[in-house]
């Protein structure tokens, strides 16, 4: 993995339907298994195995948060942008097809605030994957709620 210094936050969805039958420990192990094997990409290409899960934080559909990759190492991606400096936060679900859960959004907001405070990331540097690469991630239903979420986070960053 490559060392980096976090200066921005990038939000993703897993693009898989939320699984309400499994807990976050199971989901993280499944994601790590998947990440550490080579995989076929949708465009016919292949990617090599990654050292670890590509994300630094995972927010499950029931609002639990897990730490993924060490935050001091940059993330991985199947899309075309430089992951250096980005704290990668992923939400479980496919938000092209379904809306994020309330519990999930209620967990995400304080996570973004605390990460932004800790790493001195301004609200303008909290973005979604689609803003930096050619992808639908994190899905149209998340994009609907992101501007108001970002405003609430910005307010909390101002009031120290």
Cβ-based neighbours of 141, under 8 Å, separated by 6 or more? 95, 96, 97, 98, 99, 100
What does the per-residue mask of binding to Zn ion show for 2-21, with x meaning CB under 5 A? Answer: ----------x---------
112 near Zn ion, judged by CB under 5 A: no
Rounded to a whole number of angstroms, the CA Rg of the chain reads: 15
Q: Which is nearer to Zn ion, 131 or 155 (CB)?
A: 131
Cβ-based neighbours of 150, under 8 Å, separated by 6 or more? 123, 126
Q: Which is nearer to Zn ion, 113 or 137 (CB)?
A: 137
Q: Which is nearer to Zn ion, 12 or 56 (CB)?
A: 12
Q: How far is the CB of 95 from Zn ion (least distance, A)?
A: 11
Query: Structure tokens of 57?
Result: 């934080």
Among 59, 86, 129, 150, binds Zn ion (CB under 5 A): 129
Q: What does the binding site for Zn ion look like in residue numbers (CB under 5 A)?
A: 12, 129, 137
């Amino acid at each position: 993995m490559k060392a980096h210094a976090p200066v921005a936050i990038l939000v993703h969805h897993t693009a898989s339907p939320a699984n309400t039958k499994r807990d976050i420990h199971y989901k993280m192990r499944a994601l790590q298994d998947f990440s550490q094997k080579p995989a076929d990409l949708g465009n016919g290409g292949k990617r090599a195995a990654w050292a670890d899960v590509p994300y630094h934080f995972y927010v499950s559909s029931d609002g639990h948060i897990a730490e993924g990759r060490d935050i001091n190492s940059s993330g991985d991606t199947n899309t075309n942008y430089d992951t250096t400096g980005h704290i990668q936060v992923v939400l479980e679900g496919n938000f092209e097809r379904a809306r994020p859960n309330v519990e999930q959004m209620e967990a995400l907001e304080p996570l973004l605030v605390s990460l932004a405070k800790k790493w001195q990331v301004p609200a303008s540097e909290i973005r979604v994957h689609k803003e930096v690469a050619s992808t639908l991630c994190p899905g149209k239903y998340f994009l609907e709620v992101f501007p108001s979420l970002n405003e609430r986070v910005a307010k909390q960053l101002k009031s120290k």
